[in-house]
Every structure is written in structure tokens, then in C-alpha cells.
């Protein structure tokens, strides 16, 4: 009769065990080495040269980014581009780098996509526990300190540059910058990611303390546009969130509706 399930499986494993034969099978090529996903079946038995244009497949997903946040009287505005790259390959052109960790507390993520997603998931979990324990919404500073604790204690293993911004009833709108390495700095505005280096001069020239909500929105929009035009790792669309006592308003600016660029 037909072989039993365990023996059939062990036979399959035995067939695919030899080194060269295993690598010539679909599973051997694509599961054991995902970088071979672009290799055709007729290439089996040949090895691709190192410089084959597909090296990006082996690199980590990087949010190589421009992120910004600015506070105004009554709230904060956070903004980010949408380009996610894997080496030179754009793996996502319309991602959302603005992540909620509580109802009125958001973070902007730059650095390794996996690292920042993991850290923000932890912080969201901790803040959910905090809210249940104390029966009221957490403060922005509480969220920022949780991010700082995780990023600093694991600084040798993480590549995470984060901006935490939000509104609470104690201090209103607040912005905290957490650069790679786990420092924590409260600021009137913060920028981050690879594109931020292109707009230090713009921000120094155009930021004024006490700007209105509309002025802050224009400041974030123009800053992101200029960074996206110059930085190869930033681009796509602009996503923004306006956070105040009434809640969160999400905004979106399409790539062909940007006030400046692409060049």
C-alpha cells in the first residue's frame, strides 16, 4: 500500500538532503536562500555572481527616511515621507511611518523597519497596561520614557531613530526626539532620518517659536518636500497627523501634489 505519512516525509527529506541536489530544487533555492528568489529554474546548478544586481534582496529593510514633528499652542503636527528601501531597491513607496501608541500619542519611525516596529509594539502594549492600571490616558512623557528605556538598554542591537509626539491634559502638545543610541530630548520641533541632514538650514531659517497650527503644517510640509527632493532614501507621498485635545486628524499629500520637487 501507500507509505505512511512519516515515512513519506522522511523519504522526501532524504531525497532533498544532498547539497547540490537540494540547492537545485525550488525549496532549496528560494527557502534556504531568499536572495535567490529572482533566479530562474534553468539557472539551477549555476551560481550567480556576487555583483548580479540582486544584492539588495539580502539587505535589511530600512526606513531611510525623513520624519518631522513640531508643537504649537494646543497640539502637535507630525509628518513623514513614505519610502522604505532595501539597499537600492524601494520595497514600499507608500508606507506609513507614523504609528499610534495611544489615542493621542504617536511616534515617527526611522532606521530599521523591523526594529522600530518591534519597539513601538512593545510601547503600545506597555501603555495599554498603564491605561488599565491607572484608569486614565498616559502622558506623552511616559511614552517617550518607555521608548528611551527600550532603545538605550538595547542600543547595541537596535537601529531606531524615533520621534514621539502627542497631547495630554497636563502639558498639552509635546515633542520628544530619540536619536539612534537612546538619548531623550524634549524639543519644540524635531527632525530625523537620512533626509533630515538636508534641511537643517531650512529648519533653522524658518522655524519660529509660537507658530500657529497652519504655519506649523506648512513648515512640516515644506521641510519634508525639500528633504524628499534631495535625499535618495526619502520620497513618495507625505503623511501627516495633527494631534490635539479633540483627537487626531490624518492628512495625505500625493506625490504629484507636493509644493516642491521632485527634482
Instruction: Give the active site residues.
Output: 65
Distance CA 203, CA 190 (A): 9
Q: Report the 10 Å Cβ neighbour count for 256.
A: 7
Largest CA distance in the chain: 83
Amino acid at each position: 500500500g501507500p507509505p505512511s505519512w512519516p515515512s513519506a516525509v522522511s523519504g522526501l527529506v532524504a531525497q532533498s538532503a544532498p547539497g547540490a541536489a537540494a540547492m537545485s530544487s525550488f525549496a532549496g533555492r528560494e527557502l534556504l536562500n531568499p536572495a535567490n528568489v529572482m533566479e530562474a529554474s534553468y539557472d539551477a546548478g549555476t551560481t550567480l555572481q556576487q555583483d548580479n544586481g540582486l544584492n539588495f534582496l539580502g539587505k535589511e529593510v530600512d526606513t531611510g527616511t525623513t520624519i518631522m514633528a513640531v508643537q504649537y499652542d494646543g497640539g502637535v503636527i507630525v509628518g513623514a515621507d513614505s519610502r522604505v528601501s532595501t539597499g537600492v531597491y524601494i520595497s514600499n513607496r507608500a508606507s506609513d511611518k507614523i504609528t499610534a501608541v495611544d489615542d493621542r500619542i504617536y511616534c515617527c519611525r526611522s532606521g530599521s523597519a523591523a526594529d522600530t516596529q518591534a519597539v513601538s509594539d512593545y510601547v503600545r502594549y506597555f501603555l495599554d497596561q498603564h491605561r488599565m492600571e491607572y484608569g486614565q490616558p498616559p502622558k506623552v512623557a511616559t511614552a517617550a520614557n518607555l521608548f528611551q528605556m527600550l532603545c538605550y538598554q538595547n542600543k547595541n542591537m537596535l537601529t531606531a531613530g524615533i520621534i514621539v509626539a502627542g497631547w495630554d491634559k497636563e502639558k498639552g502638545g509635546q515633542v520628544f526626539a530619540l536619536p539612534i543610541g537612546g538619548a531623550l530630548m524634549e524639543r519644540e520641533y524635531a527632525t530625523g532620518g537620512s533626509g533630515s541632514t538636508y534641511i537643517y538650514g531650512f529648519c533653522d531659517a524658518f522655524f519660529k517659536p509660537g507658530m500657529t497650527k497652519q504655519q506649523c503644517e506648512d513648515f512640516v510640509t515644506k521641510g519634508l518636500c525639500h528633504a524628499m527632493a534631495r535625499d535618495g532614501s526619502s520620497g513618495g507621498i507625505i503623511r501627516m497627523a495633527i494631534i490635539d485635545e479633540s483627537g487626531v486628524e490624518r492628512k495625505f499629500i500625493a506625490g504629484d501634489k507636493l509644493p516642491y520637487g521632485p527634482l
